């Protein structure tokens, strides 16, 4: 197969993105739609999903959304099946949905722990399992997990989050090993703090923002669009020989 030198091969690819109505997910959805991909976004906020669908439809009228609660395993499997039915296949899965409950380790409850680990790790595994079942019928695909720099460093008030993202990096490797024979590439992207709805309140705290900026070589948090290059690369044929890897898009945080 001749490899492209740009993202033109993403045109007509079917892409499933969880957490696609806001922040990083919205930015990625628009980037894929802008490259001609058929994009299905998933989330719980129907109003926000519909707004992103309208934005995507300016590029590609086939883009759509599914409202679902990905903490429910029956809905996880249904999302995979509905997307495959809608587009006839699933070429790319981006596991972007995630949660953080920022608390000192002494204050983390069992419920907090389970909420973070279930969405950030359990849901990713079972959605990947369901989607991969469709990918093996169509000669493979690309799975991209949105991890975090917190998979590689520790930080305050993030015991559960760091654990979930560290596990996600290892899950990425394990699935890459098992599914390479099915021509399924499994990789991850690890962002630093990104200015989104989820982080806005934290970053409004001047002392916290200054602390974050002091650890990033570029002196600022990331914007959602800063993640798109790595994700599009991993979804395209340019990355056909890359699997089991995690690309850090952290502004140099982990370089120090």
The encoded tokens of residue 115 equal 């909420």
Q: What is d(CA 225, CA 218) in angstroms, rounded to the nearest whole number?
A: 15
Question: Is residue 115 within 8 Å of residue 164, measured between CB atoms?
Answer: no
Name the one residue in this structure whose structure tokens are 């990096």.
169
Query: Catalytic annotation on 161?
Result: yes
Name the one residue in this structure whose structure tokens are 């300016």.
58
Q: What's the pTM?
A: 0.96
Residue 213, SS3 per DSSP: helix
Long-range contacts of 79-82 (CB under 8 A, 24+ apart): 79/16, 79/18, 79/42, 79/127, 79/130, 80/16, 80/127, 80/130, 80/131, 80/133, 80/134, 81/130, 81/134
Q: What is d(CA 162, CA 82) in angstroms, rounded to the nearest whole number?
A: 32
Question: Is residue 55 within 8 Å of residue 81, measured between CB atoms?
Answer: no
pLDDT per residue rounded down to tens, the chain (256 residues): 555 678 999 999 999 999 999 999 999 999 999 999 999 999 999 999 999 999 999 999 999 999 999 999 999 999 999 999 999 999 999 999 999 999 999 999 999 999 999 999 999 999 999 999 999 999 999 999 999 999 999 999 999 999 999 999 999 999 999 999 999 999 999 999 999 877 878 899 999 999 999 999 999 999 999 999 999 999 999 999 999 999 999 999 999 8
Question: Is residue 87 within 8 Å of residue 146, measured between CB atoms?
Answer: no
Question: Is residue 20 within 8 Å of residue 29, measured between CB atoms?
Answer: yes
Q: What is d(CA 238, CA 120) in angstroms, rounded to the nearest whole number?
A: 27
Radius of gyration of the chain (CA): 17
Residue-range domains of the chain with CATH: 13-243 (3.40.50.720)
Q: Which of 65, 156, 161, 241 is catalytic?
A: 161
Q: Are strands 92-95 and 14-18 parallel, antiparallel or unpaired?
A: parallel
Q: What is d(CA 190, CA 35) in angstroms, rounded to the nearest whole number?
A: 23
């Amino acid at each position: 197969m001749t490899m492209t030198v740009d993202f033109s091969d993403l045109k007509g690819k079917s892409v499933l993105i969880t957490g696609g109505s806001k922040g990083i997910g919205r930015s990625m959805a628009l980037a894929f739609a802008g490259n001609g991909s058929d994009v299905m976004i998933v989330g719980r906020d129907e109003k926000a999903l519909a707004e992103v669908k309208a934005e995507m439809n300016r590029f590609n009228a086939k883009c759509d959304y599914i409202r679902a609660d990905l903490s429910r395993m029956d809905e996880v499997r249904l999302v995979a099946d509905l997307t495959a039915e809608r587009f006839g296949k699933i070429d790319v899965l981006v596991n972007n949905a995630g949660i953080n409950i920022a608390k000192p380790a002494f204050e983390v409850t069992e419920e907090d722990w389970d909420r973070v680990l279930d969405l950030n790790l359990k849901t990713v595994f079972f959605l990947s399992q369901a989607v991969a079942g469709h990918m093996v019928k169509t000669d493979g695909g690309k799975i991209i997990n949105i991890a975090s720099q917190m998979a590689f460093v520790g930080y305050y008030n993030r015991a559960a989050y760091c654990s979930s993202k560290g596990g996600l990096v290892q899950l990425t490797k394990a699935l890459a090993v098992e599914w390479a024979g099915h021509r399924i590439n499994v990789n991850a992207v690890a962002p630093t703090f990104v200015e989104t709805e989820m982080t806005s309140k934290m970053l409004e705290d001047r002392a916290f923002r200054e602390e974050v900026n002091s650890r990033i070589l570029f002196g600022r948090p990331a914007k959602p669009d800063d993640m798109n290059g790595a994700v599009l690369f991993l979804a395209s044929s340019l990355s056909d020989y890359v699997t089991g890897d995690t690309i850090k898009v952290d502004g140099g945080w982990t370089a120090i």
